[in-house]
Amino acid sequence: MEVRGRPGCGAGGAAAGGESESEQSEPESEPESEPESEDSDSSYDSIDEDALIEGIDPVLDRDFKVEDTNEEWKPSPEQQGTLPGLSPLPVKKRRITELSPASTSSHLLSESSSPTSGSSSVEDDKGETWHDISEDDEQPDIPKFYPKRCPGSQLARNAAYSPLELFQIFMSESVVGTIVANTNAFARKRAQAVKQFDWFPLTVQEFYTYIGIVIFASLMQLKTLNDYWSEKAIYSLPFPRSVISRKRFLAITWNLHLCDPEKVEENKSRKGGAGYDRLFKIKPLYTSLLLACQTCFQPKRELRVVKKIVSSSSCIGPKSTKHGYGYKLFILVDSATGYSWNFFVYNGSSFKKTGKGLGYDLVTELVRNSLLGTGYKLYLDQFYTSPALLSDLYAKEMLACGMIPTNRLGFPRAKLNDIPANAARGTIRWTRRGKLLFVKWKDTREVAICTNFHKAYNEDTINKRVKDNQGVLQKRQVPIPCAFKDYNTVMDREVHSDALLRYNNALHQTKRWYMTFFYHFIDIAVENSFILHKELAKQNGKDALTSKHFREALVTDLTKVCTRSAPLSQRSVENECYPSFFTEDPSAGRRVCAFCKLDNKTMKTPAYCMKCQVPLCLMPKRNCFLQWHQEGFQYGV
């Protein structure tokens, strides 16, 4: 998850069985034959998506030259369609579709679409100068904080909620019932084409157990999904085997579908037209989770924007060399608690653009909800901040503060009294344009911030390591602008709504982009449930569980509804499984051993198990037949 630390955005920390061979070969990843290619041919690269990855806005970021003047900047013909600081991508590698034309004007400035025109215009730089801390600045008028509801949890104060009950606010039985019905329908449809796993109808209770094991995977970090069901002494995890078999877990994963398969086909038939929805496969869970997040909590005053790269190995969404294919999930987070209150999926060229910059469009999409109120303080990463955005937010009584690149369109170009190259650490320069304050601060390097509610300097200091006259580093108190101090405080707070994927690589092994979103949505539901638990405990004067203990209790509650007996650790193969050979000639008809494949080895054998119907090595030095049955794979573990 990306919340801070991007170059140029920080100061002082935050601101600085009967299956075939191919089916047995990949027991814990998505099958190659999975029919998910309908979105692949609509993948695209564009200047906006490349800029989003690199933290550059192609509309607002300028490429300064020595001979630049203070005149209004517009892209020159040679600059149009290129990113400042980035080499142009080879044309032959760019994937172009009807949803992503080779060149559009949405990211280029014109006289009518300039971010500096209209209500959010800024004055010309002529006659402008930078001020130091010896010159006083006036505190701008700050709109009063009037939220639509009382900030905090909107649940009944005196009610006692278990971790499961809180989680079911976001993943209710009706929502899970819809997923179960769609999964069963998709499994029936797949059974007609290919049989990867034995399937029997999924129930709501069993799906809650499945979710419990997914959350359990974030508590116990193992390399592959097979390891959770392994009986090797080095792992020894009886819990997953006690609630669900390995084969059943993989069968649910393989058939999991969030929306109606028939409606997916209808949406697919509209591809290329106005009615096509690129995010259709996640819409049911997407919309229900978003509604629950906004209904059950009212953010406190300080907000921030968090970006997640929802990457996938399938060819879907914007592609970059850094993250592969994927979508971007933008979340409006309550800074005080970490609660994810609003979010949306940026899906590239179908996103509505205003011509004021991609960061402008993303932020206004997040904060336009009428449930918020006025007087909120929004803290932004440097990608989103622009004078036009902060001016328009102030007009809507929304306060904002964010790091800003000095080459951003609208940033003061004045050179008079600017920070010298050899300035001491803690040097401050500021200038004001109406309600907008621009501040430069010399930390380990020069950084800049833009705000619409701070005063330039209020005699605040911070402890920093500074070289003395002899060049020795010593800790000293140096001046720090108010905006930087508040920004660092807010952005230093951690956001934990991505623990499921951040701490577990096994869950990354999916070729279906909507499965990655499913894991992200489970993460948001779990973390928001925990935050509601803490808020209720605080209101009632009780001690709250830690995040780890809350997740443990939630996993226990989720898996209680559907528990099966764990297979015995030692099993006898007598009267159950017998070895046989494919042909009388041991050198002919050899097939890849199923057990060796679990360790990514390709060893061929003429032997197989008559009951399990899998090829297994049967040699004195490599008895995979025995190991296979000792570890319980014939039971689906």
pLDDT tens-place string over residues 421-430: 888 889 999 9
Q: What is the CA radius of gyration of the chain?
A: 29
Distance in angstroms (rounded) separating the CA atoms of residues 337 and 200: 42
Q: How far apart are CA 560 and CA 204, in angstroms?
A: 13
Chain segment 42-74, per-residue pLDDT in tens: 444 455 666 666 667 777 776 654 444 444 444
Does some domain include residue 598?
A: yes
Give the total number of structural domains in the chain.
1
pLDDT tens readout for residues 300-316? 999 999 888 776 555 45
What's the confidence (pLDDT) of residue 625? Answer: 87
Q: Which residues have C-beta within 8 Å of that of residue 373, sequence separation ≥ 6?
A: 145, 146, 147, 148, 149
Which tokens belong to 453? Answer: 């509610």
Mean predicted confidence (pLDDT) in 273-284: 88
Asked whether residue 624 is assigned to any structural domain, the reply reads yes
Answer yes or no: is 592 within a domain. Answer: yes
pTM for the predicted model, two decimal places: 0.73
Among 491, 186, 521, which Cα is nearest to 335's?
A: 491
pLDDT at residue 637 in the model: 44
User: How many CB atoms sit inside 10 A of residue 462's CB?
Assistant: 17
Task: Specify the DSSP element, H or E, that contains 475.
Answer: strand 473-479
Are the CB atoms for 631 and 241 separated by under 8 Å? Answer: no
- Name, in order, each residue with C-beta under 8 angstroms of 420's C-beta and a sequence gap of 6 or more: none
Query: pLDDT of 436-458, one tens digit each?
Result: 999 999 988 999 999 999 999 98
Computed over every residue of the chain, the mean pLDDT equals 77
CA 294 to chain centre: 19
Contact 325, 311 (CB under 8 A): yes
Query: From CA 588, how far away is CA 623, in angstroms rounded?
Result: 20
**Whole-number percent of the chain with pLDDT over 70:** 71
* Distance in angstroms (rounded) separating the CA atoms of residues 240 and 559: 9
423 touches 391 (CB < 8 A): no
Contact indicator for 489, 12 with CB cutoff of 8 Å: no
pLDDT greater than 90 at residue 377: yes
Read off φ and ψ for residue 527, nearest 5 degrees.
-65, -40
For residue 591, being part of any structural domain is answered with yes
CA dihedral 441, 446, 451, 456 (to 10 degrees): 20
What angle, rounded to 10 degrees, do the helices at 47-54 and 358-367 form? 80
Q: What is the pLDDT of residues 344-364, one digit of tens each?
A: 888 776 667 888 888 999 999
pLDDT for 64: 53
Are the C-beta atoms of 346 and 376 separated by less than 8 Å?
A: no
Are 273 and 307 in contact, with CB atoms under 8 Å apart? Answer: no
Q: How confident is the model at residue 588 (pLDDT cuts 50, 70, 90)?
A: confident
Q: Pseudo-torsion of CA 35, 36, 37, 39, nearest 10°?
A: 150
Least Cα distance to 176 among 157, 202, 195, 201 occurs for 202
What DSSP line would sit under 411-440, residue for residue? S----TTPPPTTPPTT-EEEEEETTEEEEE
Whether pLDDT at 40 is above 90: no
In a domain, 235, yes or no: no
Structure confidence by residue, pLDDT tens digits, 529-579: 999 999 999 999 999 999 999 999 999 999 985 544 334 334 444 445 788
Q: Tell whether 449 is covered by a domain.
A: no
Cβ count near 554 (within 10 Å)? 25
**597's tokens:** 């494949």
The HSE-up count of residue 246 (CA atoms within 13 Å, CB side) is: 21
- State the Cα–Cα distance between residues 420 and 87, nearest whole angstrom: 30
Using the predicted structure, report yes or no on whether residue 636 has a pLDDT greater than 70. no
pLDDT of residue 194: 60
- Helix (H, G, I), strand (E, B), or coil: what is residue 562? coil
What are the distances in angstroms from CA 336 to CA 278, 346, 452, 535, 551?
A: 34, 25, 21, 11, 21
User: Does 472 fall in a domain?
Assistant: no
- What is the rounded average pLDDT of the residues 502-527? 78
HEC letters along 601-630: CCCEECEEECCCCCECCCCCCCCHHHHHHH
Tell whether 600 is covered by a domain. Answer: yes
Rounded CA separation 466/473 (Å): 5
Minimum mean pLDDT range among 262-266, 270-274, 456-460:
270-274
Does residue 621 carry a pLDDT above 70? yes
Domain that holds residue 617: 579-635
Contact 494, 20 (CB under 8 A): no
Q: Return d(Cα 355, Cα 231) in angstroms, integer.
A: 58
* Residues above pLDDT 90, as percent of the chain: 41
Residue showing tokens 């909620």: 161
First vs last C-alpha separation in the chain: 33
